[in-house]
């Protein structure tokens, strides 16, 4: 019923999508502790400790310097580059009292107002956003 | 015997739940999102299902990176509401149907679907927002729910074909359950949306509409659609749509479309909702 798939070809195609990091095994491994740190913010007592001293809380986790820096800066593009997954990173922006709409918009280089306006106007067109190689 | 009588799909956007919880449904922004569910609420009042098999994905709530089940089935008597970082949603606890859930788990495993059995699990917006959309703000959910959680976060998620076949296996399991129960299956998530990177905010109305059309007109094409097409056309989080194929597979080769709703945007996402019943 199902023909076998070539995992290498399957993964390689993901690199062809503009402005997107697919959460592959490689990223899941790179970001394991980063994502588990974010997960710890599900508990109110951890959120309180994190808010009281972010750097000290981060030092309790085996994170790289780049990962810690990206958390402190709330640089979500950098966090994804460091292996973060958006649903885990959501625990950080929820702790900040920010919505998905507010946090996601910061990754586009647009102002919050412009991003919101784009969504109300129907969202970002897929035109030219499907494939780097084929420019379609 | 238990009967699988209908299926529906809906987006499960967290902001939609928040809009309901905070009493914002009448606002200009939200009104068109909710209006498309009025028909379904009426219809569901007449249908009175006993149990809903609710296919959804957990968003780093019950499952973290420690354990990543591809297909998990909730076999508990009840499921608490997850605290997703801002306190649990103010909605009723979700009551399970442990006996039918275990029956489905056992049947699927013998049918060569190696389900992960979950006995304790909090459920997040992926499961509760669809319940709120269809049943409104109630003191108690009027159905028992069997959660089926699918990994669509860490790659690779299951293929569309695998999801379809699981739907077929769930349907066979339901049909072999002795108690007379009216069972529905819901697929949730989608439609087009991307929550990350410079491409965030992607919406593809044309592709979403074709996807809705194909659920009745050409489900075989959906079944064979590779992940890369979802990612390119419907955004990175649009991959959730593979879960709709579990619902679609369960309803059999032919279905009739009863209702459809599509609206852009709710938060970052295209809202899609369709109600289907098996056709002879």
Domain boundaries, chain A: 7-14+22-97, 99-136
- In terms of phi and psi (left: phi > 0; alpha: psi -120 to 50; beta: otherwise), the region of B71 is beta
User: pLDDT tens digits, residue range B81-111?
Assistant: 998 877 899 999 999 999 999 999 999 999 9
CATH architecture of A7-14+22-97: Orthogonal Bundle (1.10)
User: pLDDT tens digits, residue range B126-169?
Assistant: 999 999 999 999 999 999 999 999 999 999 999 999 999 999 99
CATH of B3-278, one of 3.10.450.50, 3.40.830.10, 3.40.50.620, 3.30.9.10: 3.40.830.10
pTM more than 0.80: yes
The tokens describing B264, both together, are: 């852009």
Of A2, A94, A108, the CB nearest to B85: A94
Cβ contact, residue pair A41, B85, below 8 Å: yes
User: pLDDT tens digits, residue range B192-212?
Assistant: 999 999 999 999 999 999 999
Q: Which residues of B touch A97 (CB under 8 A)?
A: 86
Residue A3 has pLDDT above 70, yes or no: no
Q: Which residues of A touch B59 (CB under 8 A)?
A: 87, 90
The predicted structure's pLDDT at residue B125: 96
| A64 part of contact set with chain B, CB < 8 Å | no
Of B236, B267, B270, the CB nearest to A100: B267
């Amino acid at each position: 019923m199902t023909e076998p798939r070539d995992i290498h070809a399957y993964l390689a195609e993901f690199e062809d999508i503009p402005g997107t990091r697919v959460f592959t095994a490689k990223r899941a491994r790179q970001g394991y502790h980063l994502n588990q740190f974010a997960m710890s913010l599900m508990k109110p007592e951890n959120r309180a400790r994190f808010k009281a001293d972010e750097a000290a809380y981060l030092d309790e986790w085996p994170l790289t310097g780049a990962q810690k820096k990206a958390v402190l800066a709330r640089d979500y593009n950098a966090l994804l580059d460091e292996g973060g997954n958006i649903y885990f990173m959501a625990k950080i922006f929820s702790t900040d009292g920010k919505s998905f709409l507010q946090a996601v918009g910061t990754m586009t280089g647009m102002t919050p107002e412009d991003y919101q306006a784009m969504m109300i106007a129907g969202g970002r067109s897929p035109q030219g956003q499907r494939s780097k190689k084929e420019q379609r | 015997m238990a009967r699988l009588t209908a299926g529906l799909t809906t987006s499960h956007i967290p902001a939609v739940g928040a809009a309901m919880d905070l009493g914002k449904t009448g606002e200009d922004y939200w009104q068109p999102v909710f209006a498309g569910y009025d028909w379904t609420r009426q219809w569901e009042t007449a249908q009175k299902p006993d149990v809903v098999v609710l296919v959804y994905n957990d968003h780093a709530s019950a499952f973290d990176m420690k354990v990543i089940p591809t297909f998990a089935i909730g076999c508990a008597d009840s499921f608490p509401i997850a605290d997703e970082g801002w306190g649990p949603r103010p909605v009723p606890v979700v009551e399970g149907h442990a006996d039918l859930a275990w029956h489905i788990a056992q049947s699927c495993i013998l049918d060569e679907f190696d389900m992960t059995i979950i006995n304790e699990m909090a459920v997040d917006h992926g499961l509760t927002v669809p319940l709120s959309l269809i049943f409104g703000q109630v003191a108690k959910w009027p159905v028992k729910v069997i959660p089926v959680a699918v990994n669509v976060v860490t790659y690779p998620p299951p293929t569309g074909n695998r999801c379809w076949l699981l739907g077929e296996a769930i349907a066979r399991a339901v049909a072999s359950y002795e108690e007379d129960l009216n069972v529905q299956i819901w697929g949730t998530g989608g439609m087009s949306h991307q929550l990350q990177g410079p491409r965030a905010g992607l919406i593809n109305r044309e592709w979403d509409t074709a996807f809705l059309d194909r659920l009745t007109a050409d489900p075989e094409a959906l079944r064979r659609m590779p992940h890369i097409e979802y990612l390119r056309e419907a955004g990175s989080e649009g991959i959730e749509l593979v879960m709709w194929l579990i619902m679609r597979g369960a309803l059999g080769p032919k279905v009739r479309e009863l209702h459809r709703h599509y609206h852009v945007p709710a938060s970052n996402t295209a809202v899609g909702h369709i109600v289907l019943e098996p056709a002879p």
